[in-house]
Structure 1
Amino acid sequence: MSVLSTVSEFVGYDQTASNAVSITVNGNQISGWGRVSIRMGVDIMPWTAMLETTLYQPDTGASVDIPAGAACVLSIGGDTVLTGYVQSVSEELTPQEHVYRVVIASRSVDLVECSAEFSTYQMNNTTALGIAQQVCQPFGISVSAVGGAGDIQIQQFSVILTETAYEVIERVCRLAGCIFYDQPDGTIVLSPVGTTVASGGVQQGVNMERLVSLSSLEGRFSSVQAIIQNPAILFTPPADGDKHAQQMQAQTAPVNASASDPGVPRRRPLLIPVELADDNYSVARKRVQWEVARRYGRSQVIEATVSSWRDGSGTLWAPNTLIPLTRASSSRNDLLLGELELVQGEDGTHANMVLMPSDAFVPEPLVLPAEQNEVTAAVSRD
């Protein structure tokens, strides 16, 4: 197979060295792709890429032979961006052109699509990181942690037989209060919500090509109240004085867990149940605050297109980093990069970003399984 370093001559497209996209398959580096789309994100697994070239001169002797299923590495300049497998290869032939298209997925595609396998489906006295490492080990995928993510001790954790490996990791990361996502080298990282600020960021009049902002009340509530799950028996009709209010007070007062969203102008209450093992209601108090913050964060979305794949320091944009957004008014707002698409084609090189407040990505507080088991055992003994 010849190395397609001259494909750019066929498609009439010249790439700068820092943004030259190539894939390495079976020891061969293939570059010169005319159209590129690379999709990455905090909530996206696996990361994926689509590469396409159009050969207008099929008799030049250049050839492509990329087998589906082959291991590959995608790079931009000297930076590794995605390590995984060739998912599919397609060709389209017409009298005028020969279109060759390759779709790539990161190694985590097997975690998303395949069932989890263990020697035992119940793990005791381990950490969230340890469980994630065990679930990834059969697939040859390493898992690391930064910022102390995944260090939380989990006394008992059971895997459901039909769960995918991804579903197991998603559950355990919620218990640990951290997020997880792909890395360019094909590994997975457990991490807190990012605090690293990208150099330069997105600036109107500098590198911003397009911006769409969304501010919504959808899914938001004026108040969020935790409530005990015991039955509330109404001995008198709700219309009889304030009996209904008194019964509701009896169900919520012991918890003392409520939060409000000042951005919701009309009455929109939300009741959430207190979990069985949350005997001191500490998780419920965190949960109501999380509900307000998460729903607000997901309702404030910025979609921005910038003219470069790299920040002001020359580093490729990366998910889970804070992006300073500067408007023409010079107001600055640091938002988390949740989703990123790097695209390249006849109209140049662009980066499409989805930005939200950091609170939009904080995992939901949950009661640890060990605490649930202890409470269940205590009830059984009684």
Structure 2
Amino acid sequence: MSEMDNHVTLTVNDMEYGGWKSVEITADLERQFRTFKLDITWQWPGQTVDQRIKPGDPCEVKIGKDLVLTGYVFKAPIRYDGRQISLTIEGSSKTQDLVDCAARNLPSQWQQQPLLTIVRDLASEYGLSVVNEISEITRLTKHTIVPGETAFQSIDRLLSLLRVFSTDNELGQLVLAKPGSGGRASDALELGKNILSASAPMDFSQVFSEYRVIGQQKGSDAKSGAAVSEVESTAADLSFKRRRTTVINEGTQLTFELAQQRAQWESATRMGRAQTTTYQVQGWRQSNGDLWRHNTLVKVKDPVLDFDGDMLISKVTYSLSAQGSVTTLQVAPPHTFDPDPTPPKQSQA
């Protein structure tokens, strides 16, 4: 593998920049936009800075020939003293605009529209396209923008109800993501071979024995009244030895089927999040030359944490420092992100 395979380039206004002293690039299945931070230092006097990179500039970030981010520069601070000048470039995917900016569609209400149509309408206001990886079968009775909410907050209210994750891709598009759609990692994460370090909080404080989802559905001419409008469903985790109940009040229109699915999803995802673990490996590429990627399945063999099976890489960070290049991988059980999970049970006190 040549050094150029890991050469990080930032392209701004058709100009390529490299030679970075430190690098941090992050992609996360549960976050709407990727981020990057690049640093370079000049010695001076004798050298000057021609700062052609400005906040707001469109940009692309590549590792070798692999495009990893398309977006904008958000920060370009300069620091200097009597010996050197330091320049930092920070930016993110195009999809950050959905997180920062208000939902502004007019009209601001949809009736009997598919999920994908509504998401595309919200994203198109900021010039963003949507990639759909899920089977779209549910039609919503109603969706209304809440005054003051961001475009992503409006999208997220839809996705939470239908248990769908959204993220971005290397082209800066919004992706309604199917967990594991990135395929399978070529290498395993194995203690004693490629794992440099691991961190597993094992925090079960948000795991419960019973999940109750409550909400309302719209009545009809044939059915009306409190008995029809009130919806409730419960999912139980029988592995818990003591009673712990939580109630989720769903703010959008709900059906009994959706309430049951949401309760089961909460049970599975919370158990999965409690087992989320962070690993570090040397380098950014696997033995076959592919970058480590998020939303891919990876075999984990870790007898310390009692892991021996497939996990889903939910987050990946490529970093470069004086210690060399390192990839930080956040993994969790695949059912953590499954819209219709059947989680394995294990006893917890």
Pairing 1:260–2:237 present: yes
Query: What does residue 317 of structure 1 align with?
Result: 292
> How far has the Cα of 1:63 moved from its partner?
3.9
TM-score (norm 2): 0.83
Q: Aligned with 2:204: secondary structure?
A: coil
Point out the more displaced range, 296-305 or 317-326.
Answer: 317-326
Paired with 1:59 and 1:321, the residues of 2 have a C-alpha distance of 48
Deviation at 1:30, TM superposition (A): 0.5
CA distance in structure 2 between the partners assigned to 1:269 and 1:112 by the alignment: 32
* 1:82–1:106 contact (8 Å) kept in structure 2: yes
C-alpha separation in 1, matches of 2:117 and 2:253: 24
Greater shift after overlay, 281-290 or 209-218? 281-290
Give the TM-score, by structure 1 length: 0.76
Q: Does structure 2 retain, via aligned residues, the 8 Å contact 1:34–1:345?
A: yes
Change (3 A) 1:69 1:271: closer
- Counterpart AA for 1:194: G
Matches within 5 A, 1:105-120: 105-120=92-107
Deviates more, 1:342-351 or 1:193-202: 193-202
Structure 1 distance, partners of 2:115, 2:164, is 10
Which of the numbers 255, 272, 276 marks the counterpart of 1:297?
Answer: 272
Q: 1:75 offset after TM fit, Å?
A: 0.7
Aligned equivalent of 1:40 = 27
Contact 1:82 1:186 in 2 (8 A): yes
> Which is further off, 335-344 or 269-278?
269-278
Range 208-217 or range 341-350, more displaced: 208-217
Q: Which moved more, 1:327-336 or 1:64-73?
A: 327-336
Aligned to 2:332: 356
- 1:72-221 pair list within 5 angstroms: 72-148=59-135, 150-194=136-180, 196-221=183-208
CA–CA separation in structure 2 for the residues paired with 1:81 and 1:198:
17
The structure-2 alpha-carbon separation of the partners of 1:114 and 1:269, relative to structure 1 and needing over 3 Å to count, comes to closer
Change in Cα spacing, 1:314 to 1:362, as seen in structure 2 (3 Å) is: same
Is the contact made by 1:22 and 1:31 (CA closer than 8 Å) also made in structure 2? yes
Q: Which amino acid aligns with 1:296?
A: M
Is the Cα–Cα contact under 8 Å of residues 26 and 72 in structure 1 kept in the other structure? Answer: yes
* Amino acid aligned to 2:302: R
Q: For residue 97 of structure 1, what is the amino acid of its counterpart?
A: Q
Flag structure 1 segments of 5+ consecutive residues without an equivalent: 1-14, 230-253, 366-382
Aligned partners of 2:235 and 2:267 also within 8 Å: no
Per-residue deviation at 1:166? 0.9
Root-mean-square deviation over aligned CA pairs: 2.9
Corresponding letter in the other structure for 1:303: T
Contact 1:129–1:144, Cα closer than 8 Å, also in 2 = no
Of 287, 297, 317, the match for 2:262: 287
CA shift for structure 1 position 93: 0.8
Distance 1:20 1:167 in 2: 36
CA contact (8 A) 1:324 1:332 kept: yes
Please give the secondary structure, in 2, of the residue aligned with 1:214.
coil
Distance 2:321 2:234 in 1: 52
* Identity percentage of aligned residues: 27
Residue aligned with 2:262, SS: helix
For the residue of structure 1 that corresponds to 2:125, the secondary structure is: helix
State how many pairs are aligned. 324
The CA distance in 1 between the partners of 2:74 and 2:215, in whole Å, is 49
Structure 2 residues not aligned, in runs of 5+: 217-230, 342-349
